[in-house]
Amino acid sequence: MLHDRVVSRSYSLSSSKLSRCVLFLSLSYIFFVQMYASANRLQQVRKPGPTPGPNPCPSPEPKPGPSPRPAPTPTPPGARNTTFPAIFAFGDSIVDTGNNNYILTLVRANFLPYGMNFPHGVPTGRFCNGKIPSDFIAEFLGIKPVLPPYLRPGLTREDLLTGVSFASGGSGYDPLTPIEVRAIPMSDQLTYFQEYIEKVKGFAGKEKAEHIISKSLAIVIAGSDDLANTYYGTHTEEFLYDIDSYTSFMATSAASFAMQLYESGARKIGFIGVSPIGCIPIQRTARGGLHRKCADEVNVAAQLFNSKLSTSLHSMAETLKNATLVYIDIYSLFTHMIQNPEEYGFDEIDKGCCGTGLIELGPLCNQFTSLLCNNVSSYMFWDSYHPTERAYRILTKKFVEDDLSPFYDK
C-alpha cells in the first residue's frame, strides 16, 4: 500500500543512528512510491466520472427489513463445518494470505517481524503479526484453521475443495489502485476464481464443483486503498472526481464485482465495508495535525462509500435469483473499539507495534530497522495500517456471530 505524505509530526525521533536510519528509509520509501504512482498516473487515460450521487451522509441509516434469525454459533474448534463447503476471499491486504508473495509488487510482508505470532513464527505474506480475517472466518466456521493463497505452489485437492484467498494487498475497486503498486486487480482475481472452478471441475466433476461454488461463502473486502492511497494519498483521482462522485464510482465497481461472482456461480456473497480508516496510525500522522487526531474527512468518505455500497447491494439482492447478498458493517464496531479500548483490553490505539508506529508498514516494518513494542496484544494496530491478530480476532468473531445468519437461510 502506498503511504500518504507526512505533513506534520508531533513526535521527534531519538538521535540514535538506528532511529535516523528508520526515518531516512521511511521518507525515502514514501518519496519513491509517490514518484512511481505519479509516473503511472501520466500513463492513465480515464473516462469521465460518473453522475454525482447523493450528498454525503456520515451516518448511514440501516434499511428496514425482516427480523434477523438468531445468530449461528461459531463451529467449535476441531468440529467439521456442514454449512459451507469452502470459503473464498477477494479484495485487499485485509484478506490476502500471501498472494503478493508470487507477483512483482512493492506491497509485501513475507519477512519478519510479520508472522511472528503465526503458527511456527513463519512470515507468510499476511500483513499482520499472525492470522487475519480470512483465516479467522475459515476457523470460526469450522472449515479449516487457515486459508491458503491461491497462487501458492503445491496446493492440494483438499486445499482447493475447502477454499482459498484470491485477494491481493494494495488492490481496490478502482482499477487504478492496484496498478500503482502492481497488486492483483479485482478483475484478475475473478479470472483466477474462474480458473479455480475449472480446476475443481477437472478432478471433482462438474456437478460437485458447482455445488461447492454455490454453497460456499464468498467474502469481499476492499475500498480502503482506493480512499487512503489513490484518492487522498497520491491524489490520483482527486483531480477527476469529487469525493461524492468517486465513492459512487467505487460502489458501482463493487456491484459489478458482485454480479460477476454471481455469474460465476457464487450464491452466498458477503461484502465487508470500509473501517474508519481516518483513525489508522498513518492517517493520524499524515492528516491529524500535531495531536494526531482521526482524519475526519477520510472517515466521512468511508461512511459515504459504505452507505452507497449497502444501498447497491440491497437493490441487487432483490433481483438475483437463489442468492444471498449481504453488506457487513465493520465501521461501527471498529469505531467502538477505538473509542473504548479498555473494553477490549487495548492500551494503545493510535500507534502501531512496529517501529515508531507512526508510518511503518510493508518494507519499512522489518527486523533490521524497526524495533517492536513490548506487548503486541495490548496494541490495536500491528503496523501503521493493519490491525494486530488480536484485534482481527475480536472483529471477525463479532461479525461471524452477528452478520452471517442470512447465509444460513439457503
Active centre residues (catalytic): 93, 383, 386
226, 174 Cβ separation under 8 angstroms: yes
- The CA distance from 294 to 349, in Å, is 11
- The CA distance from 227 to 213, in Å, is 31
Residue closest to 166 by CA, chosen among 140, 199, 141: 199
- The CA distance from 109 to 98, in Å, is 8
Strand order in the sheet with 87-91: 87-91, 217-221, 268-272, 324-328
Q: How far apart are the first and last CA of the chain?
A: 37
- The CA distance from 179 to 171, in Å, is 8
> Which residues make Cβ contacts (< 8 Å) with residue 122, sequence separation at least 6?
115
Amino acid at 237: E
CA dist list (Å): 15 to 22, 274, 359: 11, 38, 18
Q: Tell me, what DSSP letter sits at residue 217? A: E
137, 396 Cβ separation under 8 angstroms: yes
CA atoms within 13 A of residue 147's CA, in its CB half-sphere: 33
Look at the chain and count its residues: 410
Sign of the torsion angle spanned by Cα atoms 167, 279, 291, 347:
negative
Residue closest to 297 by CA, chosen among 367, 347, 238: 238
Phi then psi dihedrals of residue 186, to 5 deg = -60, -35
22, 370 Cβ separation under 8 angstroms: yes
409, 378 Cβ separation under 8 angstroms: no
Residue closest to 3 by CA, chosen among 242, 184, 170: 170
Phi then psi dihedrals of residue 195, to 5 deg = -65, -40
- The CA distance from 257 to 251, in Å, is 10
